[in-house]
Amino acid sequence: MTARRSRIPATRYPVERFNLDNGLRVVLTPDRSAPVIGVAVVYDVGIRSEPEGRTGFAHLFEHLMFQGSENLEKLAHFRHVQGAGGTFNGSTHLDYTDYFETLPSNALERALFLEADRMRGPRLTEENLRNQVDVVKEEIRVNVLNRPYGGFPWLTLPPVMFDTFPNAHDGYGSFDDLESATVADAADFFRRYYASGNAVLAVSGDIDVAEATRLIERHFGDVPARPAPQRPDFTEPDLTAERRTSYTDKLAPLPAVASAWRVPDPITDFLGYLPYVVLAEVLTDGDASRLVERLVQRDRAVTSVGGYLGFMGDPFDVRDPTALLLQAHLPPGGDVEKVLRTVDEELDRLATDGLTEGELARTQARMATHLLRDTDAVLGRALRMAVLEQQRGEPGLLNDLPRLVGEVTDEQVRAAAATLRPQRRASIEVIAGGAR
């Protein structure tokens, strides 16, 4: 165990944390090795927070935050970032929404001004709202309605596994809900969730901590103070009986299936959760993994198989309830029942016989490499630290993740595999309607 642990590399990124009087939490992680910075603002609002009758609103609001702000006209944010040689974007997740830029370090103040200005208030006009509703509807057409396997399984499996609206509803949103949204709805959503007390600002890269602190206080210090809203309760009981459903995808050329099992709370039971993160990789990461070797190479029962934690594949930035997912695409005429039986067999074999020599160490080394790669760039570091601060108050956990993954034992992985029983499973089958 000691020898294996010593091979897992570690990072020592420095972390400075402080709060502004208006409740904004700030994380700074200086790195003077290159003249570049990553800036991220994370708001504690995501798909699970949107109210009934407003499906898709969290994602719609992400679009609205780019349509001008208190002192800037529409598209000004784009011009100011790109004019400084930077890139930018935003994304909506189950439990948060983020906005971020990568810029030369001499453009730090520009980035802070831009983010502070839209934290004070985006330009919520009827024109902007209608325009962005149309943009989101087009995204749904392109990414879900007119694409093979659109929304599979991140949109199609949650309503099989969950019963409550926050966990089960369509995060992209219905056209009816999007079209009925009003400017007043958008303003209320902003007041409630886009409060300074509900946000984290993270800056990583070529910064002087004292100077960055001064600039952050200058630009964010006068953002009106509004406390974080009470977070809705997303909890619901685990399954006690298997759930299965299927649907025909008229564009899908091949059948597919996805299954999910609930896992421990990733925030309050992190050490109990980690073995499931490792288990997903043991099962599906690389040609030597359990299910790839059995289902793809030996049985040829599937053409591909993947496993991951969280419906959006984000194991370290999601709250409870969440799940371990396995998904596979089958060849023409493939047998979904046989695939599920084989998965059960391999889980039983792992739980009973344990891992082979070197199997766990190989998996942990790959996982550590991916973790280090994902946070090597300053933006990846800022985003990860912002979410860790948001959900745990522990941005420095980023430095510990490779080590913690490396400390998961064979016994813990075996025990995790033993809990993935058919009666706790939710599955959805895609029937190929576009095979011809």
> Which strands make up the sheet holding 256-262, listed edge to edge?
243-249, 425-432, 256-262, 323-329, 304-309
Inter-residue contact 428 to 153 (CB < 8 Å): yes
The tokens for 342 are 């084989």
For strands 425-432 and 243-249, give the pairing: parallel
Contact partners, residue 411, CB within 8 Å, separation at least 6: 354
Give the residue from 369, 4, 26, 37 showing the smallest Cα distance to 208: 37
Question: Which strands sit side by side in the sheet containing 97-104, from one edge to the other?
Answer: 16-19, 25-30, 199-205, 36-43, 97-104, 87-92
∠ CA 245-250-254 to the nearest 5 degrees?
A: 75
User: Which sequence spans correspond to the domains of the chain?
Assistant: 16-221, 243-432
Cα within 13 Å of Cα(161), Cβ side: 29
Q: What pLDDT is attached to residue 2?
A: 36
What number does CATH give the domain 243-432? Answer: 3.30.830.10
Q: What is the pLDDT of residue 70?
A: 86
Shared fold status for 16-221 and 243-432: yes
The tens-digit pLDDT sequence of the chain (436 residues) is: 333 444 788 899 999 999 999 999 999 999 999 999 999 999 999 999 998 999 999 999 999 999 999 899 998 999 999 999 999 999 999 999 999 999 999 999 999 999 999 999 999 999 999 999 999 999 999 999 999 999 999 999 999 999 999 999 999 999 999 999 999 999 999 999 999 999 999 999 999 999 999 999 999 999 999 999 998 889 999 999 999 999 999 999 999 999 999 999 999 999 999 999 999 999 999 998 999 999 999 999 999 999 999 999 989 999 999 999 999 999 999 999 999 999 999 999 999 999 999 999 999 999 999 999 999 999 999 999 999 999 999 999 999 999 999 999 999 999 999 999 999 999 999 999 976 5
pLDDT at 3: 36
Rounded Cα distance between 100 and 212, Å, is 17
What pLDDT score was predicted for residue 435?
A: 60
The reported pLDDT for the residue numbered 128 is 96
Residue whose token pair is 């969440």: 322
CATH of domain 16-221: 3.30.830.10
Helix (H, G, I), strand (E, B) or coil at 92: strand
Instruction: Report pTM.
Output: 0.95
Residue 285: left if φ>0, alpha if ψ -120 to 50, beta else—which one?
Answer: beta
pLDDT at residue 5, rounded to an integer: 45
**CB-CB contact of 243 with 161 (8 Å):** yes
